[in-house]
Chains A and B, each alone.
Chain A
Amino acid sequence: MKRITIHILSFVLLAAALLRADEHYRVEQVEVPQGIVMEVSGMDYADDGVLYLATRRGDVWTQKDGQWRRFAQGLHEPMGLVIGNKGEVFVSQRPEITQLIDEDEDGVADLYQTITDGFSMIASFHQYTYGLVQDAKGNLWGTLSGTGKTGPDGRPASAKAFALEPYRMWSFKVSPEGEFVPWSSGLRSANGIGMNLEGDLFAADNQGEWVGTSMLHHLEQGDFHGHPEALRWDERFKDKGDPAKLPIEQLEKTRKMPAVFLPHGELSNSPGAPICDTTAGKFGPFEGQFFIGDVVHANLMRVALEKVNGQYQGACFPFIKGGSKGAGEGLKAGICRLVFAPDNSLLIGRVGEGNWNRGLPGTGLQRVVYSGEVPFEIHHIELQKNGFKLHFTKALDADQMLSSDQVALSSYHYAYHAAYGSPKMELKTIAVSGVERSADGKSVTLDVAELVAGKIYQFSLKSITDSSGKALRNASAYYTLNELKE
């Protein structure tokens, strides 16, 4: 009897281990130097394959072939690092954007050159200088978080963010000549910035007041992304008094809707920087799409955008959830920065404390390795005049009958208000009236009872299999509908 129990137990454990593994994506630990608090706040690879890694504690490390070396030190809480087009090392630290130059080429920076400090800065726990990306013209891009009200002992005195100093809560550009240019406004705390294949800029704001749920914004010059505090520094609102007291209708009219809402709790609490898949298929069939991690949840999300009436909108999907996907130790929380390594794996940088110290999400590095086995996923969702077209990475099982019962669809929105966060508003089930498979079996068009601009459409698919009978790797999706198709 005892032996049987042991057999059952080992079978159960083996089965559990097998189910935890994922034949498409594997999560691995990456060794970091012993005894160093590696709170990763910026990462990029140089052309020679050297990883440059900035930490919240002010160091910049280099790593190649497992050899770690400190490249720079003593920076003021850098929250971004990018390797420039000519191999330059740029960091965004609290007081300035800095270029780190190794003049004598001994592998350690000698010159800490201020590129710009053209923005205000006071002592506040929440004054992060997030970054960085560089465009083809050599402009650097980042975002400035709102100011946190801080007590005399340094402890946060309010959960709200403020922008009493220019240009807090703005995204910014730094020209190759070092000119600081405020770009778009109303970002509460967009921890990092990303650029897609077209060179368009995106940043994910963190849920809070005026930010009902975390959201990915497309940053264009002059945009207002929603947090009214930032309007203090907008010429159009200069003499209008406290911007938080502006009529809500005016704010709504001025606000540019996010390209994608990232549902709070389900996918995201505190998103980090978006990274565009530039691997040309070597990380799976998602070239050009964004991956975003979360600091609080051990979650990686995927975002697939389209343009409707000239504006970006689209869907987000779960990609890897901690503990449920991936072999080994599984994905861990604290995900702040992502970068594709020269071997096309996705390197994950985890930040531990700072304003994300809730539960101490942890530090260090992990990476996600693609096996080359294409996962069966919803690749992207394309808005139709009367519904949605779901594109899959693989053809659906040709013998399977499709019915509207297999799609649970609901719609809702998040309130735009001064309160902290928002529940799902006007949540309701949306009837799917037609389901049609394309000739090649790789897409399905859904006709739905109603489409309303300004809503999020949440999809949950059931019993949909590919030609080998395999279920979808992730069966849920969230489409942000800002613009209806003409």
Chain B
Amino acid sequence: MRPAIFILLFSLLQPVLGETQRAEQLYTSQGCAACHQINQPVDPNKVMVGPPLAAVGSKYANDPKGLETILTSLRQGGGGKWGKNEMPPQSHLTKENAEQLAEWILTLRKQEQPGGGAKAGGHKPEPAFHNPLLSEKRVGTVVEVGDTPVVCRVYLPGASSRAIAVGLLGGISYAFDATECRLLYVWSGGFLDMEKAWTGHGGWYAKLLGTKIYQAPSHFPLRIGKPNGMSEKPELVFKGYRMVEGQPEFLYQVDGQDVAHRIVCQAKLQGGSVSITHHFSLPGVTDEVSFLPAKQHVHYHTEDATWSSGVLLVHPDKRADFSISINLKP
């Protein structure tokens, strides 16, 4: 009796893997899964570097040279059959592993219905929720502003790689560039879809969920010192940001002078216009401070500066703290 139990016990503890299971293990352990899914992706954005292996299997299923073709691709690398991407030679595969994988790939078939579920996936959709631990709303990969503004550093379209998105209450959001230390643009509507930044291989641009309503001029607007060097770009050093009443105050240096910069965007109820106000603090500044306007027609409002030779020259007593606004008509 006892030996029988042990035989049973050991057969349970040491399952003998079938060919398919072993091949599936190789698929993961040998790195195939880094570039290939097994079946068609449920989500077209989840297509990986290489074709789904089921598509490869289907293609070569009735080809007498199919096995050889796959083996050659594994051994020597492949490319040109499925797109522009090239597969490097899989020289880490032993001959046995390569053969086992190739034979297994030939057994795979494309699924007609999407959602067949690649074995390597099994990714459950995230529930829509507003978690009490978060101030923003996250619905899957979509981030929307909740009770307070949201700051999100991510690759943004039209920005340098060091970008900061800020979502404000009232459906207005803006992009700040931490390389150029300036406002880039403002959009209205939703905030961001982080799908390509967060899921799959990740590390890509967020999608703006709304319509761009303002594009800032492409130059850095502040000049410190005599305005004769207007065309010369000052030296900028980004120092970070401080959260003040839920909104970031950007900190940077302009030619060594500390600057704290707050951007306030407000949608006005009456008339539907949007105002953008820049608040600048330059503690201890003594030199002349000027603000370079956009070349195209933008109407600026400020009580802290006056026009002088095409720039807004900040009043000497306002240099340490001044504001400049623009109004966007609906």
Question: Could you tell me if B151 and A159 are in contact, using CB atoms closer than 8 angstroms?
Answer: no
Quick one: which of B221-243 are within 8 Å of A by CB?
238-243
Q: Is the CB of A423 within 8 A of B91?
A: yes
Question: Which one of B34, B49, B204 has the greatest number of beta carbons of chain A within 10 Å?
Answer: B34
Q: Mark interface residues in A107-151 (1 if CB within 8 Å of B CB, else 0).
A: 001111110010001111111100000000000000000001010
CB distance from B173 to the nearest CB of A (A): 13
Contact B120 A360 (CB under 8 A): yes
* Residues 155-188 (chain B) with a chain A CB within 8 angstroms: 155, 161-162, 164, 178
The CB with the most chain A CB atoms within 10 A, among B136, B164, B204, is that of: B204
Q: Is the interface of A mostly helix, strand, loop or mixed?
A: loop
A354 contacts B178, CB within 8 Å?
no
B88 at the interface (CB under 8 A from A): yes
Contact B153 A58 (CB under 8 A): yes
A124 contacts which chain B residues (CB < 8 A)?
Answer: 203
Name which residue of chain A comes closest to B199, CB basis: A353
When distances are taken between beta carbons in the complex, the residues of chain B under 8 Å from A468 are none
Closest to B77 in A: A419
Within A186-245, which residues are at the interface with B (CB < 8 Å)? 207, 209, 212-213
Q: Are A158 and B202 in contact (CB under 8 A)?
A: no
> B205, A15: Cβ atoms under 8 Å?
no
Given contacts A114-B239, A127-B203, A355-B202, contact A154 B196 (CB under 8 A): yes
Within 8 A of A (CB), among B187-228: 194, 196-205
Contact A154-B205, Cβ < 8 Å, known A95-B162, A358-B34:
yes
Tell me if B112 counts as interface (CB < 8 A to partner A).
no
List CB contacts (< 8 Å) of A82-123 with chain B.
93-96, 98, 103, 109-114, 117, 121-123
Q: Which residue of A lies closest to B140 (CB)?
A: A37
Instruction: Among A11, A37, A117, A156, point to the contact of B48 (Cβ < 8 A).
Output: A156
Does the CB pair A110–B133 fall under 8 Å?
A: no
Name which residue of chain A comes closest to B25, CB basis: A265
Q: Decide: A93 and B153 in contact? CB cutoff 8 A.
A: yes
Q: Is the CB of B88 within 8 A of A419?
A: yes
* In the complex, chain B residues whose CB is within 8 Å of the CB of A123: 155, 161, 203-205
Please tell me if the beta carbons of A353 and B29 are within 8 angstroms of each other in the complex.
no
Give the distance in Å from the alpha carbon of A462 to the alpha carbon of B42 in the complex: 47
A130 → chain B closest CB, angstroms: 13
Chain B 30-58: CB-based contact to A (< 8 A → 1; otherwise 0)? 11011100000000010111000000000
Judging by beta carbons under 8 Å apart, are A421 and B31 in contact?
yes
Dominant SS among interface residues on chain B: loop
A253 to B12, CA, bound (A): 51
Q: Which residues of B contact A394 (CB under 8 A)?
A: none
Is the pair B92, A420 in contact by a Cβ cutoff of 8 Å? yes
Task: List A275-308 residues whose CB lies under 8 Å from chain B.
Answer: 296-297
Residue of A nearest to B132 (CB): A33
User: A residues within 8 A CB of B30?
Assistant: 265
Q: Is B127 an interface residue (CB 8 A)?
A: yes
> Is B153 a contact partner of A74 (Cβ separation < 8 A)?
yes
Residue ID in chain B nearest A113 by CB atoms: B240
Specify the chain A residue showing the minimal Cβ separation from B129. Answer: A35
Task: Judge whether B16 is part of the interface by a CB distance below 8 angstroms.
Answer: no
B65-102 contacts to A, CB under 8 A, are: 84-94
Q: Which chain B positions have C-beta within 8 A of A19?
A: 13
User: By the criterion CB–CB under 8 Å, are A125 and B161 in contact?
Assistant: no
Least CB separation from B26: chain A residue: A265
Q: Is A77 interfacial (CB 8 A cutoff)?
A: yes
Asked if B31 and A95 make an inter-chain contact with CB atoms under 8 angstroms apart, the answer reads no
Q: Which of B134, B200, B239, B241 contacts A353 (CB 8 A)?
A: B200
Asked if B5 is at the interface of the complex by the 8 Å CB criterion, the answer is yes
Among B49, B89, B122, B242, the residue within 8 A (CB) of A156 is B49
**Provided the pairs A37-B126, A421-B91 are in contact, do residues A296 and B48 lie with their beta carbons within 8 angstroms?**
no
Tell me if A76 is interfacial: C-beta within 8 Å of chain B.
yes
B8 close to chain A: CB less than 8 A: yes
- State in angstroms the CA–CA spacing of A290 and B179 once bound together: 38
CB distance from B2 to the nearest CB of A (A): 10
What is the CB-to-nearest-CB distance from A95 to chain B, in angstroms, rounded to a whole number? 4
The residues of A that contact B45 with a CB separation of less than 8 Å are 153
Judge whether A264 is part of the interface by a CB distance below 8 angstroms. yes
The answer to the question of B131 belonging to the interface, with a C-beta cut-off of 8 Å to chain A, is: yes
B130's nearest neighbour on chain A, judged by CB, is A35
B121 within 8 A of A: yes
Inter-chain contact A110/B203, CB cutoff 8 Å:
no
Which of B91, B199, B241, B244 is close to A422, meaning CB atoms less than 8 Å apart? B91
A125-B131 contact given A156-B48, A269-B31, A358-B120, CB 8 Å threshold: no
Asked if A16 is at the interface (CB within 8 A of a chain B CB), the reply is yes
Asked whether any CB of chain B lies closer than 8 Å to the CB of A36, the reply is yes
Cα–Cα distance between A235 and B71 once the two chains are bound (Å): 42
CB-based contact A423/B161 at 8 Å: no
A423 to B155, CA, bound (A): 38
Tell whether, in the assembled complex, residue B131 and residue A36 are in contact, meaning their CB atoms are under 8 Å apart.
yes
B155 to chain A, nearest CB (A): 4
Question: CB of B123 within 8 A of chain A?
Answer: yes
Say if the beta carbon of A70 comes within 8 Å of chain B: yes
A-chain residues with CB within 8 Å of residue B92 when the two chains form the complex: 207, 212-213, 264, 420-423
A33 vs B122: C-alpha distance when bound (angstroms): 21
Which A residues are in CB contact (< 8 Å) with B154? 58, 76
Contacts A36-B133, A358-B34 hold; do A77 and B91 have CB atoms under 8 A apart?
no
On whether A112 and B242 interact (CB within 8 A), knowing A35-B127, A123-B155, A269-B29, the answer reads yes
Q: Is A175 among interface residues, defined by CB-CB distance under 8 A?
A: no
**Complex: A127 Cα to B45 Cα, angstroms:** 20
Q: A112-B240, A297-B29 are in contact. List 9 more A-B contacts (CB 8 A).
A: A73-B151, A74-B151, A112-B242, A157-B84, A160-B88, A207-B31, A264-B92, A265-B30, A353-B198
12 contacts between A and B (CB under 8 A): A8-B5, A11-B5, A77-B203, A103-B242, A111-B240, A113-B239, A117-B162, A121-B161, A127-B203, A269-B29, A415-B91, A421-B91
